[in-house]
Amino acid sequence: MTRANALLAGIGYNLRAILRKLRLLFVWILAALVRAFGSETRPRSLITA
């Protein structure tokens, strides 16, 4: 049981790290899209949404 619990804890930690990286990538892509579509019109509404 302890080995399985350690394995699950490791998987959960890795998932958290992967999700953090994916969120950073998503934010970067969103910022790039906003910049590409001309953020001068409505930058704040797009960022907060």
Quick one: three-class SS letters along 1-49? Answer: CHHHHHHHHHHHHHHHHHHHHHHHHHHHHHHHHHHHCCCCCCHHHHHHC
Q: Does 10 map to a domain?
A: no
Confidence of residue 19 (pLDDT cuts 50, 70, 90): very high
On the question of pLDDT at 45 being above 90, the answer is no
Number of structural domains the chain divides into: 1
The residue range of the domain holding 48 is 22-49
3-class DSSP state of 19: helix
Mean pLDDT of 37-49: 61
Q: How many residues in the chain?
A: 49
Q: Does 45 map to a domain?
A: yes
pLDDT at position 36, please? 85
Q: Does 48 map to a domain?
A: yes
In whole numbers, what is the pLDDT of the chain averaged over residues? Answer: 83
pTM reported for the whole predicted model: 0.50
Confidence of residue 41 (pLDDT cuts 50, 70, 90): low
